[in-house]
C-alpha cells in the first residue's frame, strides 16, 4: 500500500465540480476573431514576427521567444492578421498588452507539422523544440516547460510528480482530460520521465475524481508503464505542487528553493498531454481544455483555441439572466476579468459566471482578533496574521522575515478568517511592492555603475587628449629644429639671425602647444588664400553672362561693396 | 614603586605598538558610512539636492547635511536614511513626483549632442547632426538633459504602467459615510 503523507492546514470548500462533468469534452466552434496575447508565460515577452495583412496558417509562429525563460506563441487557426497592437488582457490589472488579432478564414489549415524524435536529440535540442512549440505549464503558473527540464547529470531527479490534483472548486478540465485522454497524458509523462531520467513516477489525483483515477490506471497498465497513480485525499490545496509533493513523498520543498533541489520535478497533467502532442505530432500549444461553469445553463468542458474571446465562449454555455461578471480561474485563486472581450490564454483553465447567489458580495472587513485560524489553515505553515500586520503597515522587511514569499496565495487564510479580512490581497500587495523595490534597487545599481564608468571614461579621454597634444607638439618642435639645423648648415657663413628664439625647446609643453597653434593657423591661412570658389571655374558663356548681369545689377543697387565687406568679416 | 611604573610603561608601549600596527594593517579606505548612505540613494545623479551627484550628497549627509533633500528618493528614502543614521524623519523639501523618464521629440531634435554630454548614465544615443533617442530602460529621470537642449525637444513623461511593473494595490478599508438616521 502506498503511504500518503499529510500537509498541515488546508480547507474543504464546497467543490461544485459535478455540474460540468456530465457532458464529454466539446470542441468550441471557430470564433469570429482571435486576440492572441504575446506575453502568455512567465519570462520575456515574445517578439511579433507577423504584421497586419499577413496570412497565417494554423500553428504558424507569430511570436518568437525572447530569452531562455520565454515560450513561442502560434496562430491558433488559419486566417489573416488584422492587427498587431495593444489589447485588454485577462489580468486583474485591466491593462493592455501587445496582442495579435487574427480573423479566421474557416479553413483551419495546418502548417507542416514535424514530429520531434526526442530520443535521438540531446536535451538542449529537445528543450529548444519545446520552447519553439510554446509549451508552458498549464496548471496556472504558465512557466515555460523547457525551463524545468534540468540536466540529469547535474541535478539527478529521483521522482517525477505528475499533478492531477485540480483542487480548486468548479474546475474540472484536468479531470475530463484524464478521463478521455488518459493515454496522451501517460505518454507525455513517459517523455518527461525519459528526459529527466527519473527513477519513479507518481501521478497524484484527488480522490474526488474516481473516474479519472480509474482511467489513468487503465492507461498506465495498457501502455505497460510502471507509474504509480495515487489517489490523494481531496483537501484544498492538494493540487499545489509543493503540497502534492509533500503528500506523495513526505518531503518538503525548502523555503525559497525549487523542488529539483530535493530531486523532485513536477508537471501538470495537461502540460504532459500538450508535450506529447508537440513531440509526437509536432503540434504547438494552440488550444487547451477550459471549464465553463457557474451560473450557466449548460456547464461543460470545451477544447478552446488560445485567443478566443470570453463572451463567445460564455454564449456556448448560456449564462443565466442574473450573471453579473466572469471569474477566470477558480473561486479561490482566480480573478474577475476586467471585460468579457478579453481572450483565453494558455494559463486559463476555467470561466465561472458569477451571480450574487453563487458569490455573495464580500462582507465588510473587520479588525483582526488574532484568533489564529489563518495559521491553522495555512498549508505553507506561515503565520498570516503576523504577515497581515506588517503588510498593512507597509513594513515589508518584516513581512519578508515572516516568509511572505513562501505564501502560495491559495486563499485558505482569507477563506477561514472570521473577520473577513482579504489576507491574500495584503500578501500580494506586499510581494509586488517588494519586487518593485528590488527592481528600483537594481536600476539604481545599474545607474551607479554607468555613472562611474562615464566619469572614468571622461578622465581617460582627457588624459588621452593631453597625451596626443603633447606628442603632436613634440613632433612639431622636432621638425622645426631639424629645419633650422638644415638652414644653419646651408647658410653657415651667412648671417643667420632669425628663429632661434621662435623655436621652443621640445621639453616645454606650453611653448610647444603655442607653436603648434601658430603653425596650424599659418597653414589654415595659406589654405584659405589658395582656396577658390569651386563653382565658378569652367562656366559656360551663358552662365558667365548671367553672372555679369547680376554683378551689374548689384553695382547699381550699391550693395556690392557691402557684400564684399561682410564676406571679409566671415572668413 | 619603580616596578609598578616600569610595568605600566611597558604596558603602554605594548598597547601603543599594537594600536599602531592595527591602524596600518586594518586601515579602511574611505568612510564606510558614506558607502551605506550612498547605497540608499537612488543614484539618479540628478543634483536636485544641490550636490553634484549622489556620492557627494552621501558625503555631505555623513558630515551632518539634512537627509530630506533628495526628491527622487521620496519620503521612503528619507525614512530609510533616518533609520540608518538614527535621525528624525523630516518631510521632503520638495514635492514628490512619480518616476518619470525623458523622451526626445525626434521631429524637433537637431542633433546637437548637448544632451548626450549631459546624461550622467549614457542613456542617450545619437551622433552629431543625427537624431538622438533615449534608451528608456537606462533613463533615471534626472532631468539633466532638459536645460542644455537648445530646441527644447526633451520632455519628461511618467513611466507607463505595464503588466511587468503593475503592482497590487493596498487593500484599504472602504470608509463610507453613514446615511443620517431619521429620528423615530
C-alpha cell at position A161: 510528480
Taking only the tens place, the pLDDT of each residue in A477-525 is 999 999 888 888 887 655 544 444 444 455 567 788 888 888 888 888 8
**What distance in Å separates the CA atoms of residue A401 and residue A158, rounded to the nearest whole number?**
32
Q: Is residue B183 predicted with pLDDT exceeding 60?
A: no
Is residue A394 included in any domain, yes or no? yes
**B163 — contact with chain A (CB < 8 Å)?**
yes
- Per DSSP bridges, beta strands A264-268 and A159-164 are parallel
Residue A195 within a domain: yes
Give yes or no: residues A350 and A371 share one domain.
no
Q: Is B61 on the interface with A (CB under 8 A)?
A: no
Pair A321, A345 in one domain:
yes
**pLDDT (average), residues A101-115:** 93
Q: Which of B43, B44, B161 sits opposite A95 (nearest CB)?
A: B161
Q: Confirm whether pTM is higher than 0.90.
A: no
Model pLDDT for residues A418-439, shown as the tens digit of each residue: 999 999 999 999 999 999 999 9
Cβ atoms within 10 Å of B111's Cβ, excluding its own: 13
Over the stretch B102-130, which tens digit does the pLDDT of each residue have?
999 989 999 999 999 999 999 999 999 88
| Residue of A64, A331, A304, A365 whose CA lies nearest to A173 | A304
CATH T-level topology, domain B32-85: 3-methyladenine DNA Glycosylase II; Chain A, domain 3 (1.10.15)
Beta-carbon separation of B42 and A453 below 8 A: no
Q: In this structure, are A216 and A328 located in the same domain?
A: yes
Nearest CA among A266, A272, A271, A112 for reference residue A187: A272
Q: What is the DSSP letter of A265?
A: E
> If you count residue pairs, one on A and one on B, with CB atoms under 8 Å apart, how many are there?
70
By the 10 Å C-beta count (0-12 exposed, 13-18 middle, 19+ buried), A258 is classed as middle
Q: Which has the closest alpha carbon to B140: B117, B159, B125?
A: B159
Angle in degrees, 0-180, between the axes of helices B74-85 and B32-40, rounded to the nearest 10: 160
Q: Is residue A104 part of a domain?
A: no
Put simply, whether B160 touches A (Cβ < 8 Å) is no
B167 contact residues in A (CB cutoff 8 A): 429, 432-433, 435-436
Say how far apart CA A18 and CA A162 lie, in whole Å: 23
Question: What is the 8-class DSSP label of residue A480?
Answer: H
How many domains in chain A?
A: 2
| The domain boundary residue, chosen from A301, A320, A354 | A354
- Which CATH class, in words, describes the domain spanning B98-160? alpha beta
Task: Give the cell for residue A509.
Answer: 609643453
Helix and strand totals (H; E) in chain A: 15, 17
* Cell representation of residue B80: 530609510
Residues A347 and A373 in one domain: no
pLDDT greater at residue A495 or residue A169: A169
- Which chain A residues have a beta carbon less than 8 Å from that of B44? 447
Same domain membership, residue A429 and residue A386: yes
Question: Would you say the C-alpha torsion A485, A491, A492, A497 has a positive or negative sign?
Answer: negative
**Distance (Å, rounded) from C-alpha A211 to C-alpha A220?**
14
Tell me: do A406 and A257 sit in the same domain.
no
Cell 512567465 found at:
A42
Dist. CA B75–CA A171, nearest whole Å: 45
Half-sphere exposure of residue A530: CA atoms within 13 angstroms, side-chain side: 6
Average predicted confidence (pLDDT) for chain A = 89
User: Which one, of A210, A170, A204, A175, lies nearest residue A189 by Cα?
Assistant: A204
Residue A391 and residue A374: Cα distance in Å, rounded? 15
Q: Same domain, yes or no, for A320 and A443?
A: no
Which of A447, A39, A97 lies closest to B137 in space, CA to CA? A447
Q: A347 and A397 in one domain?
A: no
Alpha-carbon distance A439 to nearest alpha carbon in chain B (angstroms): 9
Q: How far apart are CA A111 and CA A35, in angstroms?
A: 19
CB A57 within 8 A of CB A110: yes
Print the domain residue range for A375: 366-469
Max Cα separation, chain B? 101
Residue A57 lies inside a defined structural domain of this protein: no
Q: How far apart are CA B158 and CA A190, in angstroms?
A: 51
Judging contacts by C-beta atoms under 8 Å, the chain A residues touching residue B166 are 91, 93, 95, 432
Q: What is the CATH number of the domain that holds A272?
A: 3.40.50.11540
Angle made by CA atoms A44, A50, A52, in degrees to the nearest 5? 125
Confidence class of residue A565 from pLDDT cuts 50, 70 and 90?
A: very low
Higher-confidence residue of B94 and A53: namely: A53
- Strand A159-164 relative to strand B124-125: parallel, antiparallel, unpaired? unpaired
| A350 shares its domain with A389 | no
φ and ψ at residue B98, rounded to 5 degrees: -65, 155
Neighbours of A285 (CB within 10 A): 28
* Chain A residues closer than 8 Å to B123 by CB: 450
Contact A95 B42 (CB under 8 A): no
A436 to B167: CB separation less than 8 angstroms, yes or no:
yes
Which residues in chain A have Cβ-Cβ distances shorter than 8 Å to B164?
Answer: 45
3-state secondary structure of A242: helix
The whole-number pLDDT of residue A527 equals: 84
What confidence score (pLDDT) does residue A495 get? 55
Report d(CA A277, CA A110) in Å as an integer: 14
Q: CB under 8 Å to A465, separation ≥6 — which residues?
A: none
Residues A11/A415, Cβ–Cβ less than 8 Å: yes
Residue with cell 513536477: A266
Select from A39, A429, A443 the Cβ nearest to the Cβ of B170.
A429
Candidates A428, A441, A444: best to mutate against B (most CBs of B within 10 A) is A444
Q: How far is CA B96 from CA A389, A438, B76, B161, B183, in A?
A: 26, 20, 10, 18, 47
Q: Looking at residue A503, what DSSP letter applies?
A: S
ipTM > 0.85? no
Q: Which residues of A touch B45 (CB under 8 A)?
A: 447, 451
Decide if pLDDT at A568 tops 70.
Answer: no
Whether residue A452 sits in one domain with residue A328: no
Angstroms from B104 CA to nearest CA on chain A: 20
Q: Which band of pLDDT confidence, cut at 50, 70 and 90, is reported for residue A567?
A: very low
Mark whether A383 and A325 lie in a shared domain.
no
Cα separation, A238 vs A206, in Å, equals 7
CB contact under 8 A, A436 and B165: yes
DSSP 8-state class, residue A19: G
Based on the domain organization, do A142 and A290 belong to the same domain?
Answer: yes
Strands A26-27 and A300-305: parallel
Alpha-carbon gap, residue B172 to A425, rounded angstroms? 10
Place A145 in a pLDDT band, splitting at 50, 70 and 90: very high
Contact A454 B166 (CB under 8 A): no
B25: which 3 cell numbers? Answer: 594593517
DSSP character string of chain B:
-HHHHHHHHHHHHHHHHHHHHHHHHTPPPS-HHHHHHHHHS------TTSSSSHHHHHHHHHTT--S---TTTHHHHHHHHHHHHT------SS-----EEEEE-TTT-----HHHHH-TT--EE--TTS--EE-TTT-----TTTTT-TT--EEEEEPPP-TTT--PPP------PPPPPPP-
Contacts of A435 in chain B (CB under 8 A): 167
List chain B residues with CB under 8 Å of A445.
43
Are A331 and A169 a contacting pair, CB within 8 Å?
A: yes
pLDDT > 90: what percent of chain A?
73
Among A404, A434, A469, identify where a domain stops. A469
- Do A445 and B43 make contact, defined as CB atoms within 8 angstroms? yes
φ, ψ of residue A103 to 5 degrees: the values are: -95, 115
The CATH 1.10.15.40 portion of chain B extends over: 32-85
Give the pLDDT band of residue A555 (cuts 50, 70, 90): confident
Whether B122 sits inside 8 A of A97 (CB atoms) is no
* Mean pLDDT (whole number) for A208-216: 94
Does residue A60 form part of some domain?
no
Phi, psi of A484 (to 5 degrees): -65, -40
Determine the pLDDT at residue A559. Answer: 61
Amino acid at each position: 500500500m502506498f503511504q500518503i503523507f499529510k500537509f498541515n492546514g488546508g480547507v474543504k470548500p464546497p467543490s461544485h465540480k459535478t455540474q460540468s462533468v456530465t457532458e464529454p469534452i466539446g470542441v468550441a466552434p471557430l470564433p469570429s476573431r482571435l486576440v492572441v496575447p504575446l506575453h502568455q508565460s512567465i519570462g520575456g515577452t515574445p517578439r511579433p514576427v507577423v504584421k497586419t495583412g499577413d496570412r497565417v496558417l494554423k500553428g504558424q509562429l507569430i511570436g518568437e521567444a525572447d530569452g531562455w525563460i520565454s515560450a513561442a506563441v502560434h496562430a491558433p487557426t488559419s486566417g489573416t492578421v488584422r492587427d498587431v497592437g495593444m489589447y485588454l488582457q485577462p489580468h486583474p490589472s485591466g491593462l493592455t498588452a501587445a496582442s495579435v488579432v487574427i480573423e479566421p478564414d474557416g479553413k483551419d489549415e495546418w502548417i507542416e507539422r514535424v514530429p520531434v524524435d526526442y530520443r535521438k536529440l540531446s536535451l538542449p535540442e529537445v528543450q529548444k523544440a519545446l520552447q519553439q512549440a510554446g509549451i508552458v505549464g498549464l496548471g496556472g503558473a504558465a512557466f515555460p516547460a523547457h525551463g524545468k527540464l534540468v540536466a540529469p547529470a547535474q541535478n539527478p531527479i529521483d521522482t517525477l510528480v505528475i499533478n492531477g490534483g485540480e483542487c480548486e472548486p468548479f474546475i474540472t478540465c484536468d479531470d475530463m482530460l484524464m478521463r478521455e485522454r488518459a493515454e496522451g497524458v501517460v505518454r507525455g509523462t513517459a517523455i518527461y520521465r525519459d528526459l529527466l531520467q527519473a527513477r519513479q513516477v507518481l501521478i497524484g489525483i484527488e480522490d474526488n475524481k474516481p473516474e479519472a483515477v480509474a482511467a489513468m490506471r487503465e492507461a498506465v497498465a495498457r501502455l505497460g508503464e510502471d507509474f504509480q497513480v495515487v489517489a490523494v485525499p481531496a483537501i484544498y490545496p492538494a493540487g499545489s505542487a509543493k503540497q502534492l509533493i509533500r503528500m506523495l513523498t513526505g518531503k518538503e520543498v525548502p523555503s525559497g528553493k525549487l523542488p529539483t533541489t530535493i530531486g523532485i520535478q513536477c508537471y501538470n497533467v495537461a502540460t504532459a498531454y500538450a508535450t506529447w502532442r508537440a513531440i509526437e505530432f509536432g503540434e504547438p500549444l494552440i488550444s487547451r481544455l477550459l471549464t465553463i461553469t457557474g451560473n450557466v445553463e449548460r456547464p461543460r468542458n470545451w477544447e478552446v483555441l488560445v485567443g478566443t474571446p470570453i463572451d463567445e465562449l460564455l454564449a456556448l454555455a448560456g449564462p443565466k439572466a442574473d450573471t453579473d461578471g466572469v471569474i477566470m480561474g477558480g473561486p479561490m485563486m482566480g480573478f474577475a476579468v476586467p471585460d468579457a472581450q478579453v481572450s483565453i490564454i494558455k494559463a486559463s483553465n476555467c470561466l465561472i459566471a458569477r451571480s450574487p447567489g453563487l458569490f455573495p458580495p464580500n462582507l465588510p472587513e473587520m479588525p483582526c482578533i488574532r484568533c489564529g485560524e489563518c495559521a491553522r489553515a495555512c498549508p505553507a505553515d506561515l503565520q498570516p496574521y503576523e504577515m497581515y500586520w506588517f503588510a498593512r503597515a507597509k513594513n515589508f522587511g518584516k513581512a519578508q522575515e515572516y516568509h511572505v514569499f513562501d505564501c502560495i496565495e491559495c486563499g485558505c487564510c482569507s477563506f477561514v478568517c472570521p473577520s473577513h479580512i482579504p489576507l491574500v490581497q495584503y500578501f500580494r500587495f506586499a510581494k509586488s511592492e517588494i519586487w518593485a523595490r528590488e527592481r528600483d534597487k537594481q536600476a539604481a545599481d545599474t545607474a551607479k555603475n554607468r555613472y562611474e564608468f562615464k566619469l572614468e571614461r571622461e578622465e581617460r579621454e582627457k588624459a588621452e587628449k593631453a597625451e596626443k597634444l603633447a606628442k603632436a607638439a613634440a613632433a612639431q618642435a622636432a621638425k622645426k629644429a631639424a629645419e633650422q639645423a638644415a638652414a644653419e648648415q646651408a647658410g653657415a657663413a651667412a648671417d643667420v639671425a632669425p628663429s632661434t628664439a621662435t623655436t621652443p625647446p621640445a621639453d616645454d609643453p606650453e611653448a610647444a602647444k603655442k607653436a603648434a597653434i601658430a603653425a596650424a593657423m599659418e597653414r589654415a591661412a595659406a589654405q584659405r588664400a589658395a582656396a577658390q570658389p569651386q563653382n565658378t571655374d569652367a562656366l559656360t558663356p551663358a552662365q558667365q553672362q548671367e553672372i555679369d548681369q547680376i554683378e551689374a545689377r548689384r553695382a547699381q543697387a550699391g550693395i556690392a561693396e557691402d557684400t564684399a565687406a561682410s564676406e571679409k568679416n566671415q572668413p | 614603586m619603580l616596578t609598578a611604573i616600569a610595568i605600566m610603561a611597558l604596558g603602554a608601549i605594548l598597547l601603543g605598538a599594537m594600536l599602531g600596527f592595527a591602524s596600518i594593517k586594518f586601515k579602511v579606505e574611505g568612510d564606510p558610512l558614506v558607502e551605506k548612505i550612498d547605497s540608499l540613494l537612488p543614484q539618479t545623479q540628478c543634483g536636485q539636492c544641490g550636490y553634484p551627484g549622489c556620492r557627494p550628497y552621501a558625503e555631505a549627509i555623513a558630515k551632518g547635511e539634512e537627509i530630506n533633500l533628495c526628491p527622487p528618493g521620496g519620503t521612503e528614502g528619507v525614512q530609510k536614511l533616518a533609520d540608518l543614521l538614527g535621525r528624525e524623519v523630516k518631510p521632503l523639501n520638495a514635492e514628490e513626483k512619480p518616476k518619470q523618464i525623458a523622451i526626445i521629440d525626434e521631429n524637433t531634435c537637431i542633433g546637437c549632442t548637448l544632451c548626450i554630454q549631459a546624461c550622467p548614465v549614457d542613456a542617450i544615443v545619437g551622433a552629431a547632426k543625427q537624431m538622438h533617442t533615449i534608451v528608456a530602460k537606462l533613463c533615471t529621470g534626472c532631468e539633466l538633459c532638459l536645460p542644455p537642449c537648445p530646441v527644447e525637444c526633451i520632455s519628461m513623461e511618467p513611466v507607463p504602467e505595464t503588466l511587468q511593473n503593475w503592482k497590487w494595490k493596498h487593500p484599504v478599508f472602504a470608509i463610507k459615510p453613514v446615511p443620517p438616521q431619521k429620528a423615530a
